[in-house]
Structure 1
Amino acid sequence: MSTTDFDLVVIGGGPGGYVAALRAAQLKLSVAVVEGNHLGGICLNWGCIPTKALLRASEINHLLHDLEQFGFAVDNPRFDFEKVVARSRAVSGQLSGGVAHLLKKARVPVFNGFGKLSGNDGKKRKIAVTLNDGGTTELKAAHVILATGARARVLPGLEPDGKFVWSYREALVPDILPRRLLVIGSGAIGTEFASFYRNMGSEVTLIEVADRILPVEDEEISKLAHTAFEKQGMKILTSAKLGPLSKGKEDVTVEVTTARGTEKLTFDRVISAVGIVGNVEKLGLDNTKIKVDRTHIKTDHLCKTGEPGVYAIGDVAGAPWLAHKASHEAVMCVEAIAGLPVHPIDITKIPGCTYCRPQVASVGYTEAKAKAAGYQVRVGRFPFIGNGKAIAMGEPEGLVKTVFDARTGELLGAHMIGAEVTEMIQGYVIARTGELTEAELKETIFPHPTISESMHEAVLAAYDGALHF
């Protein structure tokens, strides 16, 4: 077999693409990756990882200004903003290099360039690759996985301009720490940036077109997040209509209309976080049976597209737009290609995490969606104020909420807000995956003292009653 002839070619080297290649190599399939920018994709280079590095810095800044409750005193705590940003870029660089090492170790060739479908020879698909060095090459493979990810949605009048209006990219490498910042969109991306900049000292206004922030989360959790953010000094405007931006020499003014009326607000910088669009252009889809719906490639339960031998995974294949969903799809898709038995993904068993302060995490049905789906539910709640570890840590504000099927006892959903909930949610994910009921969860012994004990109490609260609240 030649160096351009493979069992599988993966177009895109993000958390879906590189994982697909590594799993294929483990299964002894000949595989190559085509990646035009950075291994690790948006998640590792411009999303999940660098934002967490920034958020960690903002958490430290918050603690430095809240040391008195622990008995400490620090005079004039300060930070070097350039170093804060530089550290986040270094973390991304380290991990991107780690992905390159893993692929090299697995003997997976990486073609640095952009690939597209270019027909077939009757047996294998052809992939035309335009290399970053200006050259071209053609690859052949029996199977092709499209893992090209997505990019920020750009609305008219909110185009990133390199100065006043930022997408997530500019927000990750800012030229200044804005004194006054507007964040448009309160999903995970917008909320995390709002939290970071507020905790670094910016005056933050968060605008959402829906009637509540974090609109995909359980309504109760959204309300608690809203209260927490306002307590931190953030201004929140929901059900908001945004007028055109008016740019001056040093700032930008925008007209915002809510139920309270219309007001003109002035900011140093604006972050637009209004969703994403799939990277479906220039993939050679026109002469195929592949269908695209609202910038995302349509697939079946095994990630197959309408074109034989072509698959799509991750953000380009639609919601939920999460790195861990992409990686799981990657493994499932490759194992199906290899002829192994697989289990299709149930999106109600995929956790979602938002790393603002306080953190938000969830899995499964919200209370409202469970009722809308026809379930009779039992709901349990346990606040962090009843948890010894949370109080000892100085993190007493939080809530764990569980939603059970009243008839069978199955855990339908879990929703959490507070310290470290993004680490704890996996316990409920396992319960959802294993189709556990309240009986198994009640019998599960949680270690003491941990915040995770509140998870147990939230189960008890839905049935026998919480013991510590």
Structure 2
Amino acid sequence: MHFDLIVIGSGPAGYVAAIRGAQLGLKTAIVEKKELGGVCLNWGCIPTKSLLQSANILELFKKSKQYGIQAKQVELNFAKILARSSNLVADLKKGVAFLMKKNEIQLIYGTAKILEEKTLLVKSKNNKNKYKFSNLIIATGAQPKKLDTPKIPNLVNYKGAMSIREIPKKILIIGSGAIGLEFAYFYNAIGSKVILVEKNSQILPTADSEISLEISKNFTHKGIQLLTNSRIKSIKYLNSKNTQLEIESFKNKDYIKVNVDYIISAIGVAPYTKNLGLENVGIQLTNNGHIKVNEYYETNIKNFYAIGDVIPGFSLAHVAYHEAKICVEQIMGLHPKKLNYNNIPLCIYTKPELAFVGYSEKEALAKGFDISVGKFPFSALGKSKITGETEGFIKVIFDKKYGEWLGCHMIGKGVTELITEVLLARNLESTPNEILATTHPHPSITESLVEAIENAYGKSIHF
């Protein structure tokens, strides 16, 4: 069977590419080895945010008294929290399957391997079939990086963490990126003692230092133990409820021993290119194992493309969506606009939420910019006082010479939504003047952005 386009992988990059291809008239197939929706839908973005929403509701009940509402006998049902998450995933997977059918995309289950130019072998449990194609998009995603340790039953990655069926009394998380922070917040909120280990000098090491400091204070206040400048020196499995770890501090060379129920490894992901047959056609990889592509996602071999987590860049679903559409539209000769990787939002859905884009203050200075920096705390915002969520602040960074919006860093309630205004302004190359000339509703969270910009230029009214 011949297809105009075959996509390997049905995660955010893969299924969007397949749908866009079908919309543009390509006879399209998608090959999936296991679950429609990829990591994002099955183990990442969707199910984890469902868990975090349950944690948010629990915390709201705990402080409902301050709103004049007495909530009695609040009970946490962990099984139902997990069931809600699973049901959301199942429902959304049905949605993806419907979109495949609606767009007349052939769904092929099995493991794909490139045999030779424009020939793909797909192996399933009972069959082996060959398919011809005019264009191939590789969207196989990434897999969790492995710790260099012996196999231990209660040492899990983010997939395994979604399968824990009991509330751990004590849990240790290795790595303080988005995955590590979100699991730390969740388990702390439902009653686990949480230890977070980070090899760098600050948690969330890629963030602006003030944002990192603020979330560190918040987590410490919640009772989460933060061990920065540290690494796991040894792990000793005692039994299914008890593993002993020795943790070394880089700073003072001290060692501490802790015993925990579970360990979550959140040290990042690595591209999945294993057994794809890339060598059969000569597709090149980077030193880190990602597939090399140009700005329109074509590999070094004509008609072979790659998108999503399998290529260098951001491992984010919203990036994958855009790469998919650009890639397919380039295949069709539509000359799409290239993706601006300097305007990608990074969002973390803890409480408080975090969102940032562009340069940190340190990075902007290192680039040689003469900068204006403005900040505004949510504790001074009317809407935040109304909601009772006054933690955090907004920090904006502008180039003094041209007014270019170099970066924005936020921590607080609603900032994962508020960041979109910043993205749009940066995409339109707006200066502070356009934002300040735009009337923002009162009371609203969006006012905080205006206040932060005013602060950068000495025009603060409310701070």
183, 189, 201: which one pairs with 1:193? Answer: 183
1:315-336, CA deviations, whole angstroms, 9 ceiling, x for partnerless residues? 0012211001011000000000
Contact 1:153 1:275 (8 Å CA) reproduced: yes
Matched, 1:32 2:32: no
Distance in structure 2 (CA, Å) of the matches to 1:142 and 1:414: 43
Amino acid in structure 2 at the alignment position of 1:219: S
Could you tell which deviates more after superposition, 371-380 or 421-430?
Answer: 371-380
Partner of 1:291: 284
The residue aligned with 1:118 is 115
Mean Cα deviation higher: 283-292 or 44-53: 283-292
Provide the C-alpha distance between the structure 1 equivalents of 2:191 and 2:307, rounded to a whole number of angstroms: 39
SS of aligned partner of 2:279 = coil
Matched, 1:140 2:140: no
Q: Structure 1 residue aligned with 2:321, among 323, 327, 330?
A: 327
1:389-416: CA deviation from partner (whole Å, max 9, x where unpaired): 0111010111111111111101111110
2-side partners of 1:268 and 1:332: how far apart?
A: 45
Counterpart residue identity of residue 194, structure 1? A
Structure 2 regions of 5+ residues with no counterpart? Answer: none
Match of 1:54 in 2: 51
Match of 1:444 among 417, 438, 460: 438
Q: TM-score, normalised by structure 2?
A: 0.97
Which of the numbers 60, 66, 70 marks the counterpart of 1:69?
A: 66
For residues 114 and 338 of structure 2, what CA distance do their matches in structure 1 show?
Answer: 26
Q: 1:20-72: CA deviations, max 9, x gaps?
A: 01111111111110011111110001100000000000111111211121122
Match of 1:45 in 2: 42
Q: Which amino acid aligns with 1:317?
A: I
Q: Over aligned residue pairs, what C-alpha RMSD do you find?
A: 1.2
SS state at 1:8 partner: strand
> What is the identity, as a one-letter code, of the residue corresponding to 1:105?
K
In structure 2, the residue corresponding to 1:248 is in which secondary structure?
strand
* 1:175 matched residue in structure 2: 165
User: Number of residues paired by the alignment?
Assistant: 459
Q: Is structure 2 residue 392 aligned with structure 1 residue 398?
A: yes
Shift of 1:425: 0.7
- Structure 1 residue 351: Cα displacement: 0.6
Q: How far has the Cα of 1:158 moved from its partner? A: 6.4
User: In 1, distance between residues paired with 2:369 and 2:427?
Assistant: 19
Cα distance in 2 for residues equivalent to 1:463 and 1:341? 40
- The residue matched to 2:12 in structure 1 has which SS? coil
- Deviation track 1:97-147 (CA, whole Å, cap 9, x = no partner) reads 100101110111110112121112xxxx1111112x420111111111000
Return the match for 1:228 from 205, 218, 221: 218
Q: Does 1:252 align with 2:243?
A: yes
Deviation string for 1:329-376 (max 9, x for gaps)? 000000000000212222111111011111100111111112222222
2:144 is aligned with 1:149: no
The answer to whether 1:278 aligns with 2:271 is yes
Amino acid at match of 2:400: A
Contact 1:158/1:165, CA 8 A, preserved across alignment = no
Code of the residue aligned with 1:378 in structure 2: it is S
Take 2:112 and 2:441, find their aligned partners in 1: how far apart are those partners?
50
Partner SS state of residue 408, structure 1: coil
Q: Structure 2 vs 1, CA of residues 312 and 295 (structure 1 numbering), >3 Å: closer, same or farther?
A: same
Residue type of the alignment partner of 1:338: M
- Secondary structure in 2 aligned to 1:254? strand
Of 195, 208, 211, the match for 1:205: 195
| TM-score (norm: length of structure 1) | 0.96
The gaps in structure 1 that reach 5 residues or longer are none
Match of 1:103 in 2: 100
SS of 2:188's equivalent in the other structure is: helix
Aligned-pair identity in percent equals 41
2:114–2:280 CA contact under 8 A, matched in 1: no
Q: 1:22 aligns with which of 4, 14, 19?
A: 19
**Superposition pairs of residues 278-357 of structure 1, within 5 angstroms:** 278-293=271-286, 294-357=288-351
Q: For 2:459 and 2:210, locate their aligned partners in 1 and report how far apart those are by CA, in whole Å.
A: 20
